[in-house]
Amino acid sequence: MALRNILKTGEPRLRKTSRRVTEFNDRLHQLLDDMKETLLDAGGVGLAGPQVGVLRDVILVMDTNREDLTEEEQIIELINPQIVEKAGEQTGPEGCLSVPGEYGIVTRPETVTVKAQDRYGREFTVSGYGLTARCFCHEIDHLSGILFTDLAERMMTPEELASGEE
């Protein structure tokens, strides 16, 4: 495994549309292992292929609702993910490893269900609520070149960030 460089906002690859994964081979597994290590090292809750310069439909999302699991065990690998159901609404702060130090107020569904494939190409469906639902939406947006800053109703001020106010 190896750490990959996380691209920062302004990098054109973050604005491109990713392509579907069709080969579930060693190269994909290497990418997933590297992304997992990179995510844990960066202390984030999700990571998408384009953020490490790979324009493929690959995301990692940490199911932070599963407090019984270790951080590494919380990581869900989703290949070719698609939101198939969403319900409710939540409005709150959101950030991104590619937009360091900035947070914005973004409205997302409260719960989402995602259909995806695992690293071997097997289809599965997974649901999440709260932060996990927010993260599914955020990471899937990356695959279309969308950043949370495009959706934020406003960015948080340095004063708000300093006071920890949401």
Cβ proximity to Zn ion, 26 vs 40, nearer residue: 40
Which candidate in 23, 139, 159, 160 is catalytic? 139
**Sign for the pseudo-dihedral over CA of 155, 94, 134, 118:** positive
Is position 139 annotated as part of the catalytic site? yes
Q: Please list the alpha-helical segments (H only) found in the chain.
A: 26-42, 71-74, 131-142, 148-151, 158-163
- Which residues within the stretch 90-129 sit at the binding site for Zn ion (CB under 5 A)? 96
Which of these, 108, 106, 101, lies nearest to 87 by C-alpha position? 108
- Which residues within the stretch 58-97 sit at the binding site for Zn ion (CB under 5 A)? 96
At closest approach, how far in Å is the CB of 119 from Zn ion? Answer: 21
Cβ proximity to Zn ion, 96 vs 106, nearer residue: 96
At closest approach, how far in Å is the CB of 97 from Zn ion? Answer: 6
Strand 154-155, strand 104-108: pairing = antiparallel
The two structure tokens encoding residue 91: 């409005």
Give catalytic residue positions.
139
Q: Which residues bind Zn ion (CB under 5 A)?
A: 96
